[in-house]
Amino acid sequence: MKKIILLISIFFTLMGTSNANEVNIFSARHYDSDVQLYEKFTNKTGIKVNVVSGKDKALQKRIIEEGESCLADLYITADAGRLGAFQAKGMFQKASSKALKKVIPSNFRSAYWYGIAKRARVIYYDPSRTNPPSNLTYEDLADPKYKGKVVIRKSSNVYNQSLVASLIANNGKKKTAEWAKGMVNNMARTPKGNDRAQILAVAAGEADYAVANTYYIALMLSGKKGPEQQAAAKKVKPFFPNQDGRGTHMNISGGGVLKHAPNKANAIKLLEFLLTKEAQQHIVNNTFEYPMIEGVEPNKLIAQFGLGFKQDLKTKVSKYGKNQADALKIMTEAGWE
């Protein structure tokens, strides 16, 4: 499937022009299953989907440099902060859709971009060694009693930046700065690796608590990352923090119509398709994210840990982009590598 993405990308690059019966996507999501979903959209509508897949910085740089000549209609990525930061650069246009507003909760969208799927950033633990208090919060992880017990990714990780951005939105910069210093003091090791590496550290007994997104444990349990990671995932459980307060931190995968999109109407149609029940079921069963719309259940590998947890619906994800620069500064000044 990666070869297919590459071929589509080459075609899109060579094409040089846009026609009315297509939609062009720049996507920083790295799932082959997304391409399968776009094929379903084409089969339903006859609208051809061209995809350029890559990393956020490279895609954004290309969009900005190409300006009005850019053929991309949609920019799709994971993390609301990335969408918000790109919006701040003036790279999206307003794309009104009654259908999208109807099914997407207001805190998971803006006037310029829409959430496609939800992600929860939670705390992992090994129940054979640790019994977290039922009212455990993100804020609690900075308590001195957890010294040497926490693992988490580097400050450069965008998911961490959005988590800290949400803490700024709820607790203010001063308290969040104090929290970041406490987190650094409580780290069991210097931050390294991806989210799965944090889960593996808890499974190996290197730490009591790990901060990571929920879909990673489902990915590990699925066996797609090999028997060793599958066995490690069976040792740990996710804990949903802040249940007595605002709820667990939620982020999104989402997309927005670009400023110079030549096929705006088709771009909106594709976004609307991604929020249908059929598409949402495809997403949750392939990426293990949470559905954005009601009436769709998460994949059983993640649903087994509970469906009724309290999500943070108070904090608008649009605040992540506004606070990410401050979040990174706070983490850096706290010595968070």
pLDDT in tens, 197-222: 999 999 999 999 999 999 999 999 99
CATH fold of 120-248+312-333, please? D-Maltodextrin-Binding Protein; domain 2 (3.40.190)
Distance CA(21)–CA(148), nearest Å, equals: 57
Task: Please state the rounded mean pLDDT for residues 274-288.
Answer: 98
CATH fold of 2-118+251-298, please? D-Maltodextrin-Binding Protein; domain 2 (3.40.190)
Instruction: Give the percent of the chain with pLDDT over 70.
Output: 94
Strand partners of residue 256:
75, 113
Q: How many helices (H) and strands (E) does the chain have?
A: 14, 9
pTM, two decimals, is: 0.92
Task: Map out the domains of the chain as residue ranges.
Answer: 2-118+251-298, 120-248+312-333
- Read off the pLDDT of residues 90-114 as tens digits, 9 standing for 90 and up: 999 999 999 999 999 999 999 999 9
Contact 75, 51 (CB under 8 A): no
Residue 204 CB-density burial (10 A; 0-12 exposed, 13-18 middle, 19+ buried): exposed
Give 19's pLDDT tier (boundaries 50, 70, 90). Answer: low
- Read off the pLDDT of residues 145-158 as tens digits, 9 standing for 90 and up: 999 999 999 999 99
Are 2-118+251-298 and 120-248+312-333 in the same CATH fold?
yes
What Cα–Cα distance (Å) separates residue 54 from each residue in 38, 77, 324? 17, 10, 22
pLDDT score, position 307: 86
